[in-house]
Chains A and B, each alone.
Chain A
Amino acid sequence: MEFLSVLLLFLVIVAVVLWLYVARQGDAELEFLVDQRTDFKLEELTGDTAVLSCNIPFVNKGSQDGTIMDCYPRHLLPQEQFDAVEVVSRLELETRLRKDGYFEALIVPKTTGNAVILTLTFRATGGDIKQAMADMVDMAVDIVYQVVARSKWYITKQRMIVPADELARTLSAGRAEA
């Protein structure tokens, strides 16, 4: 009986030590700093299309390295709200540019970060992008990303708002430069 008690006590101590070890070790904590994004800049402007982009930093605030397995933008512009433009959104890593929208899985060491470039392409359904964008509304864009680290993988997202007045300013400034 005494032996069993000692054994039980030993197992409890081992379990507590392991729990403390895991708790102290922590995990990765990845976050896109959408409130620290750069202003949009005009990449291209034609009769029916405007292409704008901004940079969005992200960090691993956690105590372990983490992997972003996938990351993509999800713009939300329902036709019920505004149907004068069609939108295409794309993300690429600032330090590994590519035009295919594919996000190559990336290890983000703890306490470090990087940035993605969000590119939004607006095409006027009526053929005139200047006219269409004049009535543009604020648009939400979710940055959706899948993380795997020490724990189970998960998909999460962070929302940013693309203000219509910022788009208008960027377009008019771009037109003025052109």
Chain B
Amino acid sequence: MAELELIAVRTRILTPNDNIVDAIEEYTKGQVGPGDVVSVAESVVAITQGRLTRPEELDPCFLAKLLCRFVPQKGSLSSAYGMQATMNADGKWRVTFAMLMGLLAKLIGRNGLFYELAGEQAALIDDVTGTMPPFDKYIVYGPLDPSGVAEAIKKRLGCHGAAVADVNDLKRAAVLGVTAGLRPEELAQILIHNPFGNASERTPIVIIKNYAEVAAKASA
């Protein structure tokens, strides 16, 4: 009986000069079957899309310098540069409004409203140190059109499906984009133990083997 199996695929360091679909095809050659789902780490997708910037390239505005002070220190928006990058991506006034609402909501015990209102990049941006060298000195945005990327991977590899995922060692997993027919919450659970490993392991691709067969049996 087929069982789910997670295979982490090691690659070289992928850069903005790479095409993520080409790279996945190159490194998974001969390993992906028609019943498998291919997942890829969102930060690597973003890097190959050139969605990164250096703090030196940003000039934080007054609001960025002020609002970052209200973000806990471990957060990517706790530096003026992380906050400015979010403002550049999601809009300065939207982020400001979200922060105001978020602070007011906290007063009545409601957490997380800022991230609900500020736009998707607020939760996806990785500040410096968030990615492996040489991108540890960059702020990396979330990927653009993750579902479109997933569809392109599926089309090229002929697999059952594909996903772009944001997973970390803190048992937090979010699937940002999937091919039609896949359920992001279910994939997030499969990937919850972070089979991508830490950044230095350089395994940004995880093949979920036998996914289609196992899913079919589960629904039968």
Contact = CB atoms under 8 A, between A and B. Distances in A.
Interface string A25-39: 100000000000000
Interface string A68-106: 011000000000000000000000000000000010111
A121 interface: no
Contact of A148 (B69, B73, B74, B79): B79
Nearest to B81: A148
A22 B133 contact: no
Given A64-B73, A69-B128, A150 B133 contact: no
A18 B74 CA distance: 21
Interface residues of B, number: 19
Contact of B129 (A18, A67, A109, A153): A67
B3 to A, nearest CB: 37
Interface residues of A, number: 22
Contacts of B169: none
A151 B128 contact: no
A107 interface: yes
Interface in B83-139: 128-129, 133-134, 136-137
B136 A153 contact: no
B66 A148 contact: no
Contacts of B69: 21-22, 25, 150
Given A18-B66, A69-B128, A105 B136 contact: yes
Contacts of A64: 73
Interface in A19-64: 21-22, 25, 64
A150 B137 contact: no
Q: What does DSSP make chain A's interface, helix, strand, loop or mixed?
A: loop
B131 to A, nearest CB: 9
Contacts of B178: none
A70 B78 CA distance: 19
A162 interface: no
Contacts of A109: 73
Contacts of B55: 69, 148, 153
B80 interface: yes
A105 B129 contact: yes
Contacts of A21: 69
Nearest to B136: A105
Contacts of B79: 67, 148-150
A148 B136 contact: no
B129 A150 contact: no
A149 B80 CA distance: 8
A102 B65 CA distance: 29
A106 B137 contact: no
Contacts of A149: 79
11 contacts: A21-B69, A22-B66, A70-B137, A102-B133, A104-B133, A104-B136, A105-B128, A105-B129, A150-B80, A152-B60, A152-B65
Interface of A: 18, 21-22, 25, 64-65, 67, 69-70, 102, 104-107, 109-110, 148-153
Given A69-B137, A105-B128, 10 more contacts: A18-B66, A64-B73, A65-B73, A65-B78, A67-B128, A69-B128, A104-B133, A105-B129, A148-B128, A150-B65
